[in-house]
């Protein structure tokens, strides 16, 4: 058996400058702006006693149960509410949350403005109390 010839390494000149510069880690994408929370709404229109009577949950009315619900909505540039969801309801099995969502179309407020013009956005939470009329 013969020994394989030894091959000398190729001469490699030293690297003067790196070809690929290391990139800094990518910055996380900016968070989308959070809608502002309206804490003191300026209502133009709110439901009245007749509206509460019309939207009072039927089962709760038959059982003489009072309750409450809170809804959270986005305010449009026209001052109407959209994208409403129930954020709280007590008691939870009488339909007060659904009734509050149905009533949301009856609310209208002065919208937020930017440079004097009404703009979409802003969240408002509306607590609604449903009480049986006392005879």
Split at pLDDT 50, 70, 90, the class of 134 is low
pLDDT at site 18? 66
Encode burial over 96-117: b for 16+ CB neighbours within 10 A, e otherwise: bbebbbebbebbbbebbeeeee
pLDDT at site 22? 67
Section 74-95 average pLDDT? 93
Set out the domains of the chain in order of their start, with CATH numbers: 43-130 (3.30.2420.10)
Which residue, chain included where needed, has tokens 């809170």? 70
Asked whether residue 135 carries a pLDDT value surpassing 60, the answer given is: no
The answer to whether residues 35 and 123 touch, using CB atoms and an 8 Å cutoff, is yes
């Amino acid at each position: 058996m013969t020994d394989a010839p030894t091959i000398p390494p190729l001469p490699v000149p030293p690297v003067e400058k790196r070809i690929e510069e290391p990139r800094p880690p990518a910055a996380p994408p900016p968070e989308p702006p959070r809608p502002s929370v309206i804490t003191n709404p300026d209502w133009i229109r709110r439901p009245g006693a007749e509206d509460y009577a019309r939207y009072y949950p039927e089962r709760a009315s038959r059982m003489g149960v009072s309750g409450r619900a809170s809804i959270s909505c986005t305010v449009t540039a026209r001052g109407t509410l959209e994208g409403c969801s129930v954020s709280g309801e007590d008691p939870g099995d009488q339909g007060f949350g659904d009734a509050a969502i149905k009533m949301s179309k009856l609310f209208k407020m002065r919208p937020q403005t930017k440079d004097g013009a009404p703009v979409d956005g802003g969240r408002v939470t509306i607590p609604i109390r449903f009480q049986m009329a006392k005879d």
